[in-house]
Amino acid sequence: MTRALILGGIADANVLAAEIARAGIDAVYSYGGRTRAPADQPLTTRIGGFGGASGLADTIRHEGITHVIDATHPFAAEISRNAIEACEQTGTPLIALERAPWSKTPGDIWIDAADVDAAVAALPEAPANVFLAIGRQHIAPFARRPQHAYTLRFVDPPEVPLPFAADVIVSRGPFTLAGELEMLRARKIAWIVARNSGGDGARAKVDAARLLGVPVIMISRPQLPERPRVENVAEVMQWLGHRTCLGA
C-alpha cells in the first residue's frame, strides 16, 4: 500500500495534495509551521518540524511512509537535505517537486548574489528605497545597511521586533503585474532584493522591475545533493502511479 508524505511549502504542493486526495492515495501533508494560518488540505495534516534527518527517518518508519515528496520552498535547504538523508536511511523513494528558476530576459537588470550576505554587499552605499522580497527568516543581515528605507512583505504580521526600521506589507500571493507596478511606483522602490524562487506566483515583481528599469539583486538557490526532481504535479502523480503498479 502506498502512503505518501508531502513536505509542503510551495503553491504546487496544495495542487498536488488535491490530486492525491482525488486519486484516493493515502497521504500526509506536513507544514513547517512558519505560516500561522496555513491553507486547509484534503489530507491528514501535521504542523511543525521533525527534529532533523533522524527525526524525519523515525516519522517515515512509524507512519509507514512509502514515498516522500519534497515540495518545500526552493530555499528551504535544511529540510530538503534532511529529506535526502532520511530517505537514504530508510530506503524510501524521494522525489522533489521543484519549479524551474527564473531566467534573465532582455531588459532585466540583475545583479547575481550567491547568498544573503552577498546581496547585502551588493546594495549601494547611498540611501535608497529597497524592497526586500526574501521572507522574514533572512532579513537580519540587512541591518548592516541601516541607511536604506526598507519595504518588507510577509504572509503574517511579524511577531517579534524587526532588526531595523521598515515598512511592512502583510499580504499573501500570488501577486499581479499591475499590483506590483503600483506598489513599486507608490513606494519609489529603487532596488529589489529577491530570491530566485521560480514559478508564477511571485514572478510579477521581477517583470515589474524590468518594465520600470529597477535593478534586482537576485539571490541564487542553495546547492543541494542530487535527487530525482520534476517540475509539475502531473509528473509526481506519474511517479506515484508507477511505483504503485510495481508494488502491486
Q: What is the mean pLDDT of residues 219-229?
A: 94
Residue-wise pLDDT tens digits, 152-207: 999 888 888 899 999 999 988 789 999 999 999 999 999 999 999 998 878 999 99
| Omega before 222 within 30 of 0, i.e. cis | no
Per-residue pLDDT of 7-22, as tens digits, reads: 998 788 999 999 999 9
The confidence score (pLDDT) of residue 243 equals 43
SS3 30: strand
Strands 229-230 and 216-219: unpaired
Amino acid 34: pLDDT: 60
- DSSP for 82-119, written as a single string: HHHHHHHHHT--EEEE-PPPP---TT--EEEESSHHHH
Helix axes 11-22, 233-247, angle to 10 degrees: 40
**Half-sphere exposure in the Cβ direction for 176 (13 Å, CA):** 3
The model's pLDDT over 77-94, given as tens digits with 9 standing for 90+, comes to 999 999 999 999 999 999
DSSP string, 139-200: -GGGGG-TTSEEEEEESS--SS--SS-EEEEE--S---HHHHHHHHHHTT--EEEEE---SS
Name residue, grid cell 519595504. 151
- Mean pLDDT (whole number) for 58-72: 96
